[in-house]
Chains A and B, each alone.
Chain A
Amino acid sequence: MRCVEARRRIEAYADDELGLETTLEIEAHLERCTSCREIVREARGFRRAVAELYPRESLPPTLEASVTRALEGPTRRDRLPALAGLAVAAVALLALLGSLRGGLAEARPIAVDSAVALHEAAVRGDLRVALDSPSLPAVSRWLARELPFLTPIGEGAPEFRLAGASAVDLGGERAALVAYRREGEPVSLFVLPLRAWGEFGRTVRFRGIEFRESAVGAHRVIAWSHAPVSYLLVSTLERRAGEACAVCHLGADARAFADYPHLPAARASEAFQAPRPTEGSS
């Protein structure tokens, strides 16, 4: 890629809005071109400055209360259940809005808990997949037959060894489990017919995709969507969300995602329990 081509996309690149392939092409160019690198550095610096300095208006204290009042108003009668239910609903809403200042516990979707339970079974060696196969074509054919909503699974980076696939139930939703092994440890990729995840855990934007990251027990969960399906990656090792792409995108290796913010190793509130000492971080 030449400067002319790179510069046409350089703003979108600095905004992490480009697709994976184009991003990697531009990064390859940036490795060789100091002037384009400087443009990116300045662009990102300016965005960062604006984001940090712009003072947000503080929420007027009366606004939350008036929003609640508006929601329980008389014109809503025909949309809410009977009068008794109305009172209950209003109280519930008020209580919920009031509790939010103190920090609402993130509502982790049931699907995530189901997925982690399945992954734990895989870690224990208790999980038997329906199709035990390292062959990507075989797995893809099987998935296309069993779970037609799926888009084809791409070939990933060699360190993720495909182990097989299964149809699973995640909180009532029929989903695919594509089993991998990395460095001898199971890595579980779930694919569900879900357009988007609700908010839970920590949200990080990377390359135009919103990732949800969460620690559930000893496991790292990374969730993202590409409508009409959503993905969930569960692994037991410390993982950067950027490497989630490497599972299915050949050519994406760990170095390409080196700038991705590293997940904090442990947060006291999440009581992270490492199952065994890891041999350094990758």
Chain B
Amino acid sequence: MNERKTSGRERSAFAADVGRALAALYDFARTLAGPAEAEDLVQTACLRAFESYGRFVPRATFRAWIFTILKNEFVSRHRRERRWGELRTDAAVELPGTAGMEDLEAILIEQQWHAEVRDALLALPEAYRAPVYLKDVAGFAYREIAEIEGCPVGTVMSRLSRGRAQLRRALGELARERGLFAAAASRRIAR
């Protein structure tokens, strides 16, 4: 491992970078694990990042880099666990259409479905959940997501597409169950 010491100026720069990323990093960790493990993951990621900071050459951004470190830490901790029945993301899945859900976005906002959106996103299979979270919540670019997830950009794009479709469907189902589409439609007719 590189024996170059982190200089004082690098330490300040690191503290500033980490401080800015901390809340987002914790939120990301919480999509992977419960509060206690998430805190632990964040601490470990910060420590690892600090060790390597002198060699940090950003291909993307500091934020993407430290997210990558955290994700790698999570994966290596859980590598031994066998997750049976894991989703095969390369399998062709016939998904029902999303026709008749044009009002969904308006309904989501009107109803202020914070918890519903979060629950639905976290309920997605991990392979889909991560790209959707990293893109739509954390705002990373495709190539940054590819770095964090350790997969090609093409894979990111296809998982993102399916993940979003599944999320939309799940929220649409919920809206339908609560009769919100019918209500929205009759409002449209009334106008």
Chain A residues within CB distance 8 Å of chain B = 11-12, 15, 17, 42, 45-60, 62-64, 66-67, 70-71, 76, 79-81, 89, 92-93, 96-97, 100, 104, 107, 195-196, 198-199, 205, 208, 210, 227
Contact = CB atoms under 8 A, between A and B. Distances in A.
B70 interface: no
9 contacts: A17-B141, A51-B139, A55-B114, A63-B22, A63-B42, A76-B50, A195-B59, A199-B62, A227-B59
A80 B24 CA distance: 27
B13 interface: yes
A210 B61 contact: yes
B131 to A, nearest CB: 11
A49 B175 CA distance: 14
A192 to B, nearest CB: 14
Contacts of B19: 64, 96-97, 100, 104
Interface stretch (B77-85, B88-96, B103-111): B103-111
B165 to A, nearest CB: 10
Contacts of B190: none
Given A55-B115, A60-B26, A67-B22, A208 B164 contact: no
A80 B157 contact: no
Given A15-B142, A51-B137, A100-B20, A67 B43 contact: yes
A172 to B, nearest CB: 14
Contacts of B118: 54-55
A43 B168 CA distance: 10
A92 B62 CA distance: 21
Interface of B: 5-6, 8, 11-13, 15-20, 22-24, 26-27, 30, 35, 39, 42-44, 46-47, 50-51, 57-62, 102, 104-105, 108-109, 112-115, 117-118, 121, 132, 135-137, 139, 141-142, 157, 160-161, 164, 167-168
The list of the 7 closest CB pairs from A to B, nearest first, reads A100-B19, A45-B105, A96-B15, A196-B58, A53-B117, A55-B114, A59-B23
B4 to A, nearest CB: 9
- Chain A contact residues: helix, strand, loop or mixed: helix
A46 to B, nearest CB: 5
Given A47-B136, A59-B23, 20 more contacts: A11-B157, A17-B142, A48-B105, A50-B167, A51-B137, A55-B114, A55-B115, A56-B23, A56-B137, A57-B27, A57-B30, A60-B26, A60-B35, A63-B22, A63-B43, A67-B42, A71-B47, A104-B20, A199-B61, A199-B62
A99 to B, nearest CB: 9
Q: Chain B at the A interface: mostly helix, strand, loop or mixed? A: helix
B117 A100 contact: no
Contacts of B46: 67, 70-71
Contact of A49 (B17, B62, B105): B105
Given A46-B168, A55-B118, A70-B43, A92 B8 contact: yes
Contacts of A49: 105, 108-109, 117
A64 B141 contact: no
B65 to A, nearest CB: 10
B58 A195 contact: yes
Nearest to A12: B157
Contacts of A11: 157, 160-161
Contacts of A205: 139, 141
A51 B62 CA distance: 21
A46 B164 contact: yes
Contact of A96 (B12, B105, B113): B12
A56 B31 CA distance: 10
A50 B141 contact: no
Contacts of B60: 196
A142 B92 CA distance: 55
Contacts of A96: 12, 15-16, 19
A124 to B, nearest CB: 33
B32 to A, nearest CB: 12
A79 B108 contact: no
